[in-house]
Structure 1
Amino acid sequence: MFEPKNSLEALMQAAATDTDAAPAFYQALLETEIYILTPDVPMIPGRRRSLKYQEKINIATVEFQGMRWHQAFTSKARISDYVKEPETCLGAVARNLFDMLPHSNFWLNPLSECQKPLPASEIALLTSGKIFEVLGKAK
């Protein structure tokens, strides 16, 4: 049974079954820190560090439905559920992450009971604000 670890996860879970909850989920997603796997970034375990200006990083991807996806996690606990060995990750506000990686597909909480693929087309609607118009018209 999926137990939300934070308000974003609670909203994500609600939006999965109630379309009226989708706008609140999308708004919270834009403003919340999410995590992506960055296997080659040097890190001291248990520490945080900032990226340097124009630092190049390798971001892990998986193939799904013929497309490449960045695995993204709504909490550190979701990372631990997904990978069993320690893994370096980058935490960033989702809006900033989407801006840093334009035209990318993100898969929130892959293999979790509460997951959501976010194709690049959906992220473009989200970051432009047009997704809220689309959701309003769907009612």
Structure 2
Amino acid sequence: MFEPQNSLEALMQAAAKDPSVAPAFYQALLETEIYILTPDAPMTPGRRRSLKYQEKINVATVEFQGMKWHPAFTSKSRISDYVKEPETCLGAVARNLFEMLPDSNFWLNPQSECQKPLPASEIALLTSGKIFETIREVLPKQPAKRSK
């Protein structure tokens, strides 16, 4: 059973059950640090480092349904659920990762009970803010609350 380890995971799980939570999930996603696998990046185990200006990095991809996806994780422990050998990863605010890797597909927590594919088209809507308008149009209108 999936146990959320942070507020982003709790929102992701809630949004899967209730579409009205999706705007809060997307907003939190943009502002939260997520992790991607960077297998060739030089790194000392157990240490953190910053990327150098215009540093080129190799980001892991997986193929699914004829498309390439960057596995991305909502917490460090989700990485060890996915890969069994130690792997170098990059943690960054999701908005920054999406901007660093334009036109890329991301897959949050692949092989987890709580996962979410984010195709490039959805990320473009998210980073432009248009996804919030789209969600408002799709969600059923809530009845106005009456005061007593």
Note whether the superposition's TM-score is higher than 0.5: yes
CA distance in 1, matches of 2:86, 2:108: 19
- Larger Cα Rg: Structure 1 or Structure 2? 2
C-alpha deviation, 1:121, in angstroms: 0.1
- Please name the residue that 1:77 is paired with: 77
**1:93-122 CA distance string (max 9 Å, x none):** 000000000000000000000000000000
- Please name the residue that 1:123 is paired with: 123
CA distance in 2, matches of 1:66, 1:16: 24
Gaps of 5+ in 2: 140-148
CA distance in 2, matches of 1:135, 1:57: 34
Percent identity at matched positions? 86
CA distance in 1, matches of 2:102, 2:17: 28
**1:28-68 CA distance string (max 9 Å, x none):** 00000000000000100000000001111100000001100
- Residue correspondences, number: 139
- Please name the residue that 1:112 is paired with: 112
CA distance in 2, matches of 1:65, 1:18: 26
Gaps of 5+ in 1: none
CA distance in 1, matches of 2:29, 2:58: 23
Q: Secondary structure at the match of 2:62?
A: strand
CA distance in 2, matches of 1:132, 1:32: 17
CA distance in 1, matches of 2:106, 2:73: 10
CA distance in 1, matches of 2:126, 2:5: 23
Cα RMSD (Å): 0.3
